Structure 1
Amino acid sequence: MERAPERDTRAAADFAAIRVEFGLPGEFPTAALAEAEQTSSETVHRLPRRDATELPLVTIDPPGAKDLDQAVCVRRLPSGFRVFYAIADLGAVVPPGGALDAEVRRRGQTLYLPDGSVPLHPPVLSEDAASLLPDQARNAVLWTIDLDDDGEPTSVHVERAIVRSTAQFDYATVQAAIADGTVHPSVAALPELGRLRRGLAVRRGAIELALPEQEIQPDGAGGWRLVVRPRTEVDSWNAEISLLTGMCAARIMLDAGIGILRTLPDANEGAVHELRRTAAALGLDWPEEMPAAELLAGLDPAEPTSLALSTDATRLLRGAGYTAFDGTPPEVTTHAGIGAAYAHVTAPLRRLVDRFATEVCLAVAGGVPVPEWVRTALPELPSAMEASDRQAAQVDRACIDQVESWLLADEVGQSFAAVVLRTNAEGGEIFVTEPPVLAKCRGAGLVEAGRVRVRLVEADPLRRKVSFETE
């Protein structure tokens, strides 16, 4: 499917009502800010750490990002690869048990709204002193991972370090540089390793869905527009480095018998059976011996059948959560969507749990006991993170719904082209291609993956509701 053209909102608007509705926090408490200011002034923290400023690390993030969690350097060795992955060290700047720690635990994660984020940490840390900004010496947790020629890890080491990022890139810039042969040496080996890791992911049974990712952008006139964000290969390769690190962290914690994992139970046979029925109805050939991951990885995202099957495949990814353990092995140790045991450790500026999982890995690697403040917090983290994830998903959806209704408020009665994603007794779910809108549709004649003309029957900005009916 071609990328839908951008479509501008009609007037300036903000998301204040959503902030109020979901009770999103505003300013940080005075005591928390004071702690952040104090720790941000410590250019070299008291904790022992290696001087790794000689590593030519670079960051790859969305354009304009300031909360930079990760910096990477990938080297091709005579045999295999070496990955240096530096992660912002929040354990060094958030005093356990203090006012800042309490506020960060309350927030759970950074929430991104189109008119400004609700940060997990005060900007003096998240966008400055703790962020891996270019040309700045920063406290970091440095992962060094060696891999063989097939992309499988052979050794893992994690330690505290001082690093200095040498450049800040975005995904499109790196993709273009790879295409024209001017890519930075620190990520010149990323395409080769990224492809190897992606192939291993498919063989592990990792599920990646080819669904349109709606993104809200300013329209330049005080309003907003919706676009479908193109996902570059660099997005996927960079994500594989993060996933690799998370899998290594999970292995460290499982071997030590203490930690917190991101888990997802295997899909039950009924879910897979229903997906096979959908594939057959769509006319897709799915050999009995082929895993779902392999089928989904081979789909063309531009095809309506891919959108429909990927929408239905979300049934395979239900039940994600967090599993903390200390002594007793957890019942569920793997994430079915990744096909391996996995832990969050690569985004501590933006996600609470990463700080604690990282401290477990550092303690185990250093041969010292896991800090008591970490051990005490582990049982509380799953419910805190699940509540935070729920709120983040609701806020994201509310913002998209709001912009969709703003965009279409003057278009009620108009006709639109759409692809049918899913059907039900009342009608189904559709993807309107211009503007890029996901919505419910009533009426007969809807067939999954079919192209239809639909009429807009409601676009209510107050209720953030959009609905269509078949023509």
Structure 2
Amino acid sequence: MPVRHLRADEGFPAAIKTGFDRLCDEIGAPLEFPAEVVAEAERVASAGYDSSRTYDDLTDVPFVTIDPEGSMDLDQAMYIEKAKQGYTVLYAIADVAAWVAPGGPIDAEAHRRGQTLYAPNRRFPLHPPVLSEAAASLLADGRPRPAIVWRLDLDAHGQVTATAVTRALVVSRERLDYPTEQAKLDNGQAGPVMQLLREVGDLRQQLEVERGGVSLNLPEQVVDTSQSGGWRLTHRSSLPNENWNAQISLMTGMAAAQVMLEAGVGILRTLPPPDREVVRQLRAVAHTLKLPWPESMSYAEFVGALDVTNPVAQAMMMSCVRLFRGAGYTVIKDGLAADQLVHGALAANYAHTTAPLRRLVDRYVLEVCVALSAGQPVPEWALAALPSLPDEMAESDRRAKAFERGITDLVEALVLSDKVGQVFTGVVIQVDDKREDQGIVSIVEPAIEARVSGDLELGDEARVRLVKADPVEGKVGFEVA
């Protein structure tokens, strides 16, 4: 699925502060937490998690976390081992419900926010940092923490053969990051869990292709502040271990969906299946871009073979994004057709369940699944929230996308603000359906994706002149030179 992030290692310069404030006002971004929410979070963090619940003791399992460098809101910890018939994956997810009382101030604020918002070197979290980056986070500090632990038994091909989920106390032993661990894997120095993550991740990626699923791993725009002279933008492709770890999360979400579907209760992440006519149109786009797509090759296989570092392939991927329209959340109920319950990009039933520190709906999916697995009634507070979650999450998704796009626009305008009139070379990666003289151009240096006007052909290399770069409005514009 297409994912785009903006990363940096220091705060905003003054030049875009006005634009940032304007953006937050326009989209209603929840920034600071109300005093009563902070006070309640500090009280809960000091008092500890809800110990009245029953927890298995899994503190002897050597769980590890792997995340981007510097991350503190650690939702997941994993342990993987070889089994007689394949693999066993233990995936521990932070038990947010052990810290957040239903109907309390933290809960109410989480429903208002919906999810964490990300900006360069800043995050505006779903929960106060004293919980999301400390007490409830699965940090490797030797402290036992409550978690919802999924046990997924896999055969030698990576297929899930058995699923169990329970509450447990866990201890994360190591806090790993993607770049360091990928370097160790490449040098043959990685630990056993990371080696097995590669094995299982590769198997799950192959299964994704076989069932017709697609992951569009578009390059990230990265804000680099390491050099003197200000900010610069570069592109960064995801590392292999990021994609393998994503497969563990996807596998867990599919397991959660199956648990809920069998019981007829819960909430799924859904997306309409690809339309045959759209796929036909995409084949025409591939032909225009001179990208080989044999009739015998499926859509999933074609996308999986694209080189994400190639601007022409990026143009193809931007066209593929149209297949990912209509994502939402669907509450399970009688009368829904199969295609109303599936996630079309994954070609599977799926639920968001592995990021409860950063996304509201996951807490409810976990609560439903752990109750069903134990043969207990789903708590009334969780059932009562399900009908309103699709609308709450839709509003949260809208705000998050507007925030991310707005921040990107501001940074692009800042980087280009002293270059108006200069000519750059880029690739046209999108042409508007209704106006063929309007589109998006991708420039490698600096890493810019911005509006362009003129005589445009999808996939063509074009010389474009910068005509506008306003770091207050966050507006950038090019025209064909």
TM > 0.5 between the two?
yes
The equivalent of 1:51 in structure 2 is 57
The equivalent of 1:204 in structure 2 is 211
- Contact 2:267/2:331 (8 A) holds in 1: yes
Residue in structure 1 matching 2:467, options 453, 457, 464: 457
Aligned pairs (5 A) from 1:92-103: 92-103=98-109
Q: How many percent identity over aligned positions?
A: 47
Q: Which amino acid aligns with 2:91?
A: Y
- Contact 1:75/1:83 (8 A) holds in 2: yes
Comparing 460-469 with 20-29, greater Cα deviation is found at 20-29
Q: Compared with structure 1, are the counterparts of its residues 217 and 22 closer, same or farther at alpha carbon in structure 2 (3 Å cutoff)?
A: farther
Residue in structure 1 matching 2:419, options 411, 417, 427: 411
1:155 is the counterpart of 2:166: no
Q: Secondary structure at the match of 2:266?
A: strand
The equivalent of 2:428 in structure 1 is 420
Q: Distance in 1 between matches of 2:86 and 2:301?
A: 25
- Contact 2:78/2:91 (8 A) holds in 1: yes
What are the ranges of 5 or more consecutive residues in structure 2 without an aligned counterpart?
Answer: 1-7
Q: Report the TM-score when normalising by structure 1.
A: 0.94
Q: Secondary structure at the match of 2:332?
A: strand
1:80 is the counterpart of 2:71: no
Residue in structure 1 matching 2:452, options 436, 441, 457: 441
Task: State the number of aligned residues.
Answer: 464
- Contact 1:257/1:328 (8 A) holds in 2: no
The equivalent of 2:391 in structure 1 is 383
Q: Which amino acid aligns with 1:354?
A: D
Following superposition, the deviation at residue 216 of structure 1 comes to 3.1
The equivalent of 2:221 in structure 1 is 214
- Contact 1:61/1:171 (8 A) holds in 2: yes
Q: Distance in 1 between matches of 2:87 and 2:48?
A: 32
Q: Distance in 1 between matches of 2:334 and 2:322?
A: 32
Q: Secondary structure at the match of 1:267?
A: coil
- Contact 1:67/1:126 (8 A) holds in 2: yes
Q: Distance in 1 between matches of 2:465 and 2:227?
A: 29
Q: Compared with structure 1, are the counterparts of its residues 34 and 328 closer, same or farther at alpha carbon in structure 2 (3 Å cutoff)?
A: farther
Q: Compared with structure 1, are the counterparts of its residues 119 and 210 closer, same or farther at alpha carbon in structure 2 (3 Å cutoff)?
A: closer
Residue in structure 2 matching 1:228, options 227, 232, 235: 235
Following superposition, the deviation at residue 218 of structure 1 comes to 4.1
The equivalent of 2:23 in structure 1 is 18
The equivalent of 1:366 in structure 2 is 374
Aligned pairs (5 A) from 1:166-315: 166-219=173-226, 224-315=231-322
Following superposition, the deviation at residue 215 of structure 1 comes to 2.7
Residue in structure 1 matching 2:113, options 101, 107, 111: 107
1:37 is the counterpart of 2:42: yes
Q: Compared with structure 1, are the counterparts of its residues 243 and 210 closer, same or farther at alpha carbon in structure 2 (3 Å cutoff)?
A: closer
Comparing 419-428 with 218-227, greater Cα deviation is found at 218-227
Q: Compared with structure 1, are the counterparts of its residues 447 and 328 closer, same or farther at alpha carbon in structure 2 (3 Å cutoff)?
A: closer
Give the CA RMSD over aligned residues. 2.0
Q: Which amino acid aligns with 1:259?
A: G
Following superposition, the deviation at residue 395 of structure 1 comes to 0.2
Q: Deviations over 1:172-211 (max 9, x none)?
A: 1110111112212222211111101001111111122253
The equivalent of 1:432 in structure 2 is 443
Following superposition, the deviation at residue 87 of structure 1 comes to 0.4
1:349 is the counterpart of 2:357: yes
Q: Distance in 2 between matches of 1:19 and 1:154?
A: 46
Following superposition, the deviation at residue 274 of structure 1 comes to 1.1
Following superposition, the deviation at residue 241 of structure 1 comes to 0.3
- Contact 1:59/1:71 (8 A) holds in 2: yes
1:394 is the counterpart of 2:402: yes
The equivalent of 2:5 in structure 1 is none
- Contact 1:80/1:148 (8 A) holds in 2: yes
Q: Deviations over 1:239-290 (max 9, x none)?
A: 0000000000000000000000000011222211211110111222323342
Q: Deviations over 1:297-338 (max 9, x none)?
A: 011223233111111101111100000124555651110111
Q: Distance in 2 between matches of 1:392 and 1:224?
A: 23
Q: Secondary structure at the match of 1:345?
A: coil
Comparing 206-215 with 46-55, greater Cα deviation is found at 206-215
The equivalent of 1:3 in structure 2 is none
